[in-house]
């Protein structure tokens, strides 16, 4: 009789994309097996998939496998989505190489896929997570050793910086990895600088060569997922008709606090700004000596990638950014970032009301700023306050107030804001599903369901 094997698989990534590792904790009738490995430039999803591939490949083909993963991406992909992907010949599927490998190793096997909540104290999942991090650490050490060995053989030439598009110091640390990889898929663009979050902004600031790229370093050293509140100004409304971006501004937020890190760039659109000058106040003369998009694209992409982009009417900004990045041969920004549209959030919370940025500022009593003309960085700062007020009431951490607190450490101030918590109503589909569940409950137990009263 074939044996039953239990597998716990997990992936980890320091930055997304960035240094990654995978781990598989396998429990057989004979004992335990711990597999791990990593890659220098990858994504969390790819490492989750690689862990599953390696774990299944290790087991005998006639064994019954019970697999636990904390990635719904893996579980639903292999049990549900993959059938549709095959029908359309893997068109528009991210990570098709790994999905096809996983499909191949799972063929003709008896496998039960299960989801488990990550970082919830389950021994098997915690062990897989430790193995994934061990794989990432081992890869980082291998890269460090390889770089040091190469440095001993050949020292950089005197004019080496002239050949480096960013002007980076290539001393590789465990959490600051730089790796060229020609085989990266569109989800993992071939970017010279791959760094962990939130240190990414510091790395990019040192790489800036063009004087019109303004990147500020973080004043607060916070750990957590990066959110970038972003705004753009353009020559018009229609990227399909050749309108271009002329200004980009984004400020960094971690754990609902502004870190002080930001990026701000004026861009020569290579065409007249036209009537849009009446909106943003930026003239052709002002933009004449500014860099073209191709000159700043790599730096801007490196700053933005892997973060959650928060924008008001985000579809507008993302369409323009995707178009501009594609023009210079880079992937679409929406493929390497999550996107949150505050206009959609506002419409859901305040249906039938005006939900422009100015209207939301008045509704939430955000401190007034001079907005005679729209400016990307100014609008991003305002949107940060609006977003925090709209999603829970906590105001953003004012960086000017931080400077004053540093100068007057004994003075303590507290700022509060009174807002209504959002009410999220169920959709018609959710109501129908709830009604069906109540009927099934009554049929099964022969009594009225509490939720039906």
353 and 437 inside one domain: no
What mean pLDDT do residues 237-251 have?
Answer: 93
Q: Is 70 annotated as a binding residue?
A: yes
pLDDT computed for residue 417 by the predictor = 60
88 and 204 inside one domain: no
In a domain, 29, yes or no: yes
Beta strands 308-311; 338-341: pairing state = parallel
Q: Which residues sit opposite 348 in a β-bridge? A: none
Which residues are designated catalytic? 374
What mean pLDDT do residues 389-416 have?
Answer: 55
pLDDT computed for residue 206 by the predictor = 39
Q: Is 400 annotated as a binding residue?
A: no
Instruction: Write the DSSP string, 190-239.
Output: --S-EE-TTTHHHHHHHH--STTEEEEPPSS---S-EEEEEEEEESSS-G
202 and 317 inside one domain: yes
In a domain, 145, yes or no: no
> Which has more confidence, 418 or 109?
109
What mean pLDDT do residues 400-407 have?
Answer: 46
385 and 321 inside one domain: yes
pLDDT for 291 beyond 90? yes
In a domain, 180, yes or no: no
Q: Which residues sit opposite 36 in a β-bridge? A: 23
> Which has more confidence, 411 or 65?
65
Report the percent of the chain where pLDDT is more than 70: 78
What mean pLDDT do residues 73-78 have?
Answer: 91
400 and 430 inside one domain: no
| Contact (CB, 8 A) for 138 and 38 | yes
Using the 3D structure, point to which of 108, 131, 154 is the last residue of a domain. Answer: 131
Using the 3D structure, point to which of 85, 116, 131 is the last residue of a domain. Answer: 131
**Model pLDDT for residues 155-207, shown as the tens digit of each residue:** 444 443 444 444 443 333 333 333 333 333 333 333 333 333 333 333 444 34
In a domain, 162, yes or no: no
375 and 431 inside one domain: no
pLDDT computed for residue 419 by the predictor = 65
pLDDT for 379 beyond 80? yes
Q: Is 183 annotated as a binding residue?
A: no
19 and 60 inside one domain: yes
Residues in the chain: 453
Instruction: Write the DSSP string, 71-93.
Output: -HHHHHIIIIIHHHHHHTTTTT-
Q: Is 370 annotated as a binding residue?
A: no
pLDDT computed for residue 170 by the predictor = 38
pLDDT computed for residue 22 by the predictor = 95
Q: Is 129 annotated as a binding residue?
A: yes
Check which CATH number belongs to the domain holding 29 and give it. 3.30.420.10
What mean pLDDT do residues 251-277 have?
Answer: 93
359 and 453 inside one domain: no
Range of the domain at 442: 425-453
In a domain, 140, yes or no: no
pLDDT computed for residue 199 by the predictor = 38
Least confident piece of the model among 55-59, 72-76, 208-212, 407-411? 407-411
Using the 3D structure, point to which of 131, 156, 188 is the last residue of a domain. Answer: 131
366 and 228 inside one domain: yes
Q: Is 212 annotated as a binding residue?
A: no
pLDDT for 254 beyond 90? yes
| Contact (CB, 8 A) for 161 and 169 | no
438 and 403 inside one domain: no
11 and 84 inside one domain: yes
Report the percent of the chain where pLDDT is more than 90: 50
Give the contacts of 54 (CB within 8 A, at least 6 positions apart).
9, 22, 24, 35, 37
Q: Is 341 annotated as a binding residue?
A: no
pLDDT for 55 beyond 70? yes
Q: Is 280 annotated as a binding residue?
A: yes
pLDDT computed for residue 144 by the predictor = 82
| 312-328 burial: b if 16+ Cβ within 10 Å, else e | bebebbbebbbbbbeee
**Model pLDDT for residues 336-378, shown as the tens digit of each residue:** 999 999 999 999 999 999 999 889 999 988 886 655 555 788 8
In a domain, 144, yes or no: no
In a domain, 371, yes or no: yes
Give the contacts of 148 (CB within 8 A, at least 6 positions apart).
none
In a domain, 185, yes or no: no
337 and 436 inside one domain: no
Tally of structural domains, the chain: 3
Which of these, 94, 278, 285, lies nearest to 186 by C-alpha position?
94
């Amino acid at each position: 009789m074939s044996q039953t094997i239990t597998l716990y698989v997990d992936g980890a990534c320091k930055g997304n994309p960035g240094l990654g590792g995978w781990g598989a904790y396998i429990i057989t009738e004979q004992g335990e097996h711990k597999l791990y490995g990593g890659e220098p430039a990858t994504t969390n999803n790819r490492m989750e998939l690689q862990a599953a591939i390696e774990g299944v490949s290790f087991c005998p083909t006639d064994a019954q496998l019970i697999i636990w993963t904390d990635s719904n991406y893996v579980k639903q992909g292999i049990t549900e989505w993959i059938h549709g992907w095959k029908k359309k010949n893997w068109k528009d599927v991210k990570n098709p190489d790994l999905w096809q490998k996983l499909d191949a190793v799972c063929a003709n096997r008896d496998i039960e896929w299960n989801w488990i909540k990550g970082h919830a104290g389950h021994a098997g999942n915690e062990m897989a997570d430790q193995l994934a991090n061990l794989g990432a650490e081992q890869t980082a050490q291998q890269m460090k050793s390889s770089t040091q060995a190469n440095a001993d053989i050949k020292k950089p030439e005197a004019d080496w910086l002239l050949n480096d598009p960013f002007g980076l110091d290539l001393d590789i640390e465990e959490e600051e990895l730089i790796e060229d990889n020609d085989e990266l898929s569109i989800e993992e663009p071939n970017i010279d600088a791959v760094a962990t979050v939130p240190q990414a902004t510091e790395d990019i600031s040192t790489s800036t060569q063009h004087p019109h790229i303004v990147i500020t370093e973080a004043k607060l050293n916070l750990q957590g997922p990066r959110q970038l509140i972003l705004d753009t100004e353009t020559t018009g409304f229609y990227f399909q008709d050749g309108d271009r971006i002329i200004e980009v501004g984004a400020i960094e937020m971690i754990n609902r606090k502004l870190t002080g890190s930001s990026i701000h760039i004026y861009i020569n659109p290579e065409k007249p700004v036209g009537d849009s000058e009446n909106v943003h106040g930026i003239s052709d003369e002002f933009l004449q000596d500014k860099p073209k998009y191709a000159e700043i694209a790599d730096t801007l992409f490196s700053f933005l990638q892997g973060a959650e982009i928060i924008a008001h009417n985000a579809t507008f900004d993302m369409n323009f950014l995707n178009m501009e990045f594609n023009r210079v041969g880079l992937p679409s920004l929406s493929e390497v970032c999550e996107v949150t549209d505050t206009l959609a959030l506002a419409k859901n919370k305040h249906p039938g009301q005006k939900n422009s940025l100015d209207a939301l500022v008045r509704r939430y009593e955000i401190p007034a700023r001079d907005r005679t003309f729209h400016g990307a960085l100014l609008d991003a700062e305002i949107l940060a306050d609006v977003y925090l007020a709209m999603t829970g009431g906590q105001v953003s951490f004012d960086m000017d107030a931080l400077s004053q607190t540093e100068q007057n450490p004994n003075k303590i101030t507290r700022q509060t804001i009174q807002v209504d918590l959002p009410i999220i109503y169920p959709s018609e589909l959710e109501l129908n599903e709830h009604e069906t569940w109540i009927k099934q409950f009554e049929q099964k137990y022969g009594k009225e369901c509490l939720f039906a009263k």
